[in-house]
Structure 1
């Protein structure tokens, strides 16, 4: 399996890319970093670098995403979605590898 974007999340990524005039060389990088209230934080940013040896590259609904191989161990099978309500909006992570998540949804324990 791999990391996937929902169609709605891909639309938001494309909207953001257009608003900030990012070229096609910019890929969406998804990863994990130590920290947060549960042990790991999700990371999401644009990057213009890709290393074939250190990264895996995927395409989802027209968006190229890159995941470093270390993060891929924790993110395998994860779907990134977009949530929007009156109170908040943002990306959500449905991670089958998370054994515990925090209330904010941005950190997890594997």
Structure 2
């Protein structure tokens, strides 16, 4: 694990993540981001509330008071990526700009790497 591996969240993504955590009413450490195998392109992004941080298994980043937790495996796929929040007339949600993705599905939720 290299300490140079990190992710970035835009101010809008931070704002929306904080709002979702506040709306949940659950006690959480922050936002958990990750990657799992599957989806139409090989991998897909996962978002969840981080109920705990697992020592030696998770990396913790902080953005304007928001803790973001990423597991050691997922950071390999997310290093250098930027998470934004996009909203249009047709849809809204988190959107990744991921330099590790060599292609993605039209749905925008799954990608392939390598």
Report the TM-score, using the length of structure 1 for normalisation.
Answer: 0.93
- Asked if residue 90 in structure 1 is aligned to residue 93 in structure 2, the reply is yes
* Contact kept? 2:30, 2:66, Cα under 8 Å: yes
Q: How many residues are treated as equivalent by the alignment?
A: 109
Tell me the equivalent position of 2:45: 42
- Asked if residue 14 in structure 1 is aligned to residue 18 in structure 2, the reply is yes
Tell me the equivalent position of 2:109: 106
Offset at 1:62?
Answer: 1.9
Runs of at least 5 residues in structure 2 that lack an aligned partner in the other structure: none
* Contact kept? 1:5, 1:61, Cα under 8 Å: no
CA RMSD of aligned residues (A): 1.1
> What does the per-residue CA deviation read over 1:28-65, in whole Å, with 9 as the maximum and x for residues that have no partner?
11000010111000001102111121111100122101
- Asked if residue 33 in structure 1 is aligned to residue 36 in structure 2, the reply is yes
Residues 47-58 of structure 1 aligned to structure 2 (within 5 Å) = 47-58=50-61
Give the alignment partner of residue 67 of structure 1, picking from 60, 65, 70.
Answer: 70
Report the TM-score, using the length of structure 2 for normalisation.
Answer: 0.90
- Asked if residue 76 in structure 1 is aligned to residue 79 in structure 2, the reply is yes
Runs of at least 5 residues in structure 1 that lack an aligned partner in the other structure: none
